[in-house]
């Protein structure tokens, strides 16, 4: 698929194939970070546009899968940073606002415990939040997460362990 995308011949068809294959997985990766559907849709569009324009730069040093996830993750984080700058609030304050908005979001139908879980995740540092979302909700392997986030597997496991402990403590105390 990469060769077809990079060759120029039938690249449009190959790109459509790539979109169909990854749109759902990348959507959930983004949605878990930005929380809101409309924002996730915008970021997903930008992610695929970036993929389309940069596919010629993909050297194959990592898996296509992890390269795509990395772009989606970076786009989502950039989006949130930009949003917090526009609103002139810190990243922590923005996370609180995102969770507050969930309660009136028509595309969030979580139970009380699901909302509580989202609140707990929002209290985590950024890296732990990313790792927790990828491991807990998307069931990605440590090896794949390590390749996406470009960190070692051992530090990743440590991050996840700390994240789980903090979430458990939050749920217990709340």
Each residue 133-162 as x (binds other proteins by CB under 8 A) or -, in order, gives ---xx-x-----------------------
* Count of residues that bind other proteins according to CB under 8 A: 35
Rounded to 5°, angle at Cα 26 from 25 and 32: 95
Half-sphere exposure of 1 (CA within 13 A, CB side): 15
Applying CB under 8 A, which of residues 7, 45, 78, 91 lies at the interface with other proteins? Answer: 45
Q: Is residue 129 at the binding interface for other proteins, with CB under 8 A as the rule?
A: no
Residues 73-112 that bind other proteins (CB under 8 A): 102, 107-111
Q: Between 65 and 108, whose beta carbon lies closer to other proteins?
A: 108
Asked if 140 and 108 count as a contact pair (C-beta separation under 8 A), the reply is no
Query: What's the Cα-to-Cα distance from 27 to each of 22, 35, 133, rounded to whole Å?
Result: 8, 11, 13
Query: What's the Cα-to-Cα distance from 72 to each of 32, 34, 90, 113, 117, rounded to whole Å?
Result: 11, 11, 22, 28, 23
Q: Is residue 8 at the binding interface for other proteins, with CB under 8 A as the rule?
A: no
In the numeric block, which tokens belong to residue 29?
A: 């990766």
Q: Where does this chain touch other proteins (CB under 8 A) — which range of 22-30, 70-78, 92-100, 143-151?
A: 22-30
Query: What's the Cα-to-Cα distance from 36 to each of 28, 71, 79, 131, 159, rounded to whole Å?
Result: 11, 19, 12, 19, 25
Q: Where does this chain touch other proteins (CB under 8 A) — which range of 27-35, 81-89, 93-101, 146-154?
A: 27-35
Residues, the chain, total? 174
| Residue ranges in contact with other proteins by CB under 8 A | 15, 19, 23-24, 27-28, 31-32, 35, 37, 41, 44-45, 48-49, 52, 102, 107-111, 113-115, 117-118, 136-137, 139, 164, 167-168, 171-172
């Amino acid at each position: 698929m990469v060769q077809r995308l990079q060759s120029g011949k039938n690249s449009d068809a190959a790109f459509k194939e790539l979109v169909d294959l990854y749109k759902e997985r990348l959507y959930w990766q983004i949605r878990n970070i930005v929380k809101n559907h409309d924002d996730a849709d915008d970021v997903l569009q930008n992610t695929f546009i970036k993929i389309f324009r940069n596919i010629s730069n993909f050297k194959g040093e990592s898996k296509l899968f992890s390269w795509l996830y990395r772009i989606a993750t970076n786009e989502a984080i950039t989006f949130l940073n930009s949003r917090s700058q526009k609103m002139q609030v810190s990243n922590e304050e923005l996370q609180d606002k995102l969770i507050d908005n969930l309660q009136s979001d028509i595309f969030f139908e979580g139970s009380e415990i699901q909302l509580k879980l989202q609140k707990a995740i929002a209290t985590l540092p950024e890296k732990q939040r990313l790792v927790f979302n990828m491991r807990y909700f998307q069931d990605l392997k440590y090896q794949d997460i390590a390749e996406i986030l470009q960190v070692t597997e051992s530090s990743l496991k440590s991050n996840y362990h700390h994240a789980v402990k903090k979430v458990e403590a939050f749920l217990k105390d709340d």
